[in-house]
Amino acid sequence: MWSFSNAFTSAFKELDPIPQFKATAKLGGFLERRDKGMDYQQTQIAEIYDLANPWAQDYDFYLPLAGVRPCSVLDLGCGTGTLCCALAKRGHRVTGVDPAAALLAVARSKPHAAQVEWVESSAQSYKSQRRFDLIVMTGHAFQVLLTDADALAALETMRGHLKERGRIAFETRNQRVDWVGEWSGRQRLVGTLARRQLLETLEITGQDGEFISFQTSYRSPHETLTTSRELECI
Ligand SMILES: C[S@@+](CC[C@H](N)C(=O)[O-])C[C@H]1O[C@@H](n2cnc3c(N)ncnc32)[C@H](O)[C@@H]1O
């Protein structure tokens, strides 16, 4: 059974809650695209990740999907492992997969991380003999897959690792929202690091159809960290 998320009010946790997210089964309409990659390999960006992306309503949606009985869960693009650790705390057997070693290092330091199997891999290339009751891709991790080939390879990974009657859940953005308008020049204080306030600024650096490139800066009184990304916003 395929299960897609419904009506998130905060699906991309880097952003303020926006009530216009909707469920979308992203199975067609892909364009060929080169993956420009992401900057999550930077240790400093990884350390800021949880400040900028605290527990949010999308985790509230995904967590109960595992049910109350212990089951096996695969989190593809698990990032800093917040959901993995919460699932492990509830007794589930969890595998967290992410290509960014810096994010996995943060994940490994969290409570209940020792109960989680952490794997450094992309969703496209992850392979295991294990089969899972639930496979998730949260925080819009699916939207970092910018080509038909990559998206289909990730879906193949899901299909190949799913138990019979297992469930898959991930989300995409509501294409009716003007994301460029929402994000252009957006600023917010995301918290303090080493007693210094961090100001996050988003700048749109390009748009090509549903593909949006943007730069995120984290500015403290002594330093500015910058990360660039491209997402497919459908
Ligand atoms: C916006 S973060 C979401 C992280 C986490 N799922 C969450 O909800 O906080 C996107 C994640 O996708 C990961 N990622 C990038 N390319 C990926 C790929 N090809 N396969 C799986 N994950 C990928 C990044 O390293 C990052 O952890």
CA separation for the pair 151, 118 (Å, rounded): 22
Mean pLDDT of 82-104: 97
pLDDT on residue 70: 97
98 lines ligand 1 (CB under 6 A): yes
138 lines ligand 1 (CB under 6 A): yes
Mean pLDDT of 113-117: 98
25 CA to centre of ligand 1 in angstroms: 18
Q: What burial class does residue 53 get, using C-beta atoms within 10 Å of its C-beta: 0-12 exposed, 13-18 middle, 19+ buried?
A: middle
Pairing between strand 196-208 and 187-193?
antiparallel
98 CA to centre of ligand 1 in angstroms: 6
78 lines ligand 1 (CB under 6 A): yes
Atom of ligand 1 nearest to the CA of 75: 6
Report how far apart the first and last C-alpha atoms of the chain are (Å, whole number): 22
96 lines ligand 1 (CB under 6 A): no
Pairing between strand 93-98 and 116-120?
parallel
Q: Does residue 231 register a pLDDT over 90?
A: no
Is pTM, for the whole model, over 0.85? Answer: no
Average pLDDT, the chain: 82
Read off the pLDDT of residues 22-68 as tens digits, 9 standing for 90 and up.
222 222 222 223 333 446 778 888 889 999 999 999 999 999 999 99
In one-letter notation, the amino acid at residue 4 is F
Q: Does residue 200 register a pLDDT over 60?
A: yes
106 lines ligand 1 (CB under 6 A): no
Which of these, 124, 128, 74, lies nearest to 97 by C-alpha position?
A: 74
Rounded-to-10 torsion of CA 97, 33, 3, 175: 130
Sheet with 223-232, side-by-side order of all strands: 187-193, 196-208, 211-220, 223-232
pLDDT on residue 234: 63
Which of 42, 83, 98 most suits a substitution to test ligand 1, by most atoms within 8 Å of the C-beta?
98
Q: Where does the pLDDT of residue 121 fall: very low under 50, low under 70, confident under 90, or very high at 90 and above?
A: very high
Q: Does residue 126 register a pLDDT over 80?
A: yes
pLDDT more than 90, % of the chain = 58
In one-letter notation, the amino acid at residue 152 is L
- Alpha helices, DSSP H, located in 25-178: 43-52, 57-62, 82-89, 101-108, 148-160
Least confident of 27-41, 90-104, 130-144: 27-41
175 vs 11, more confident? 175
181 CA to centre of ligand 1 in angstroms: 24
User: Position of tokens 């600023």?
Assistant: 187
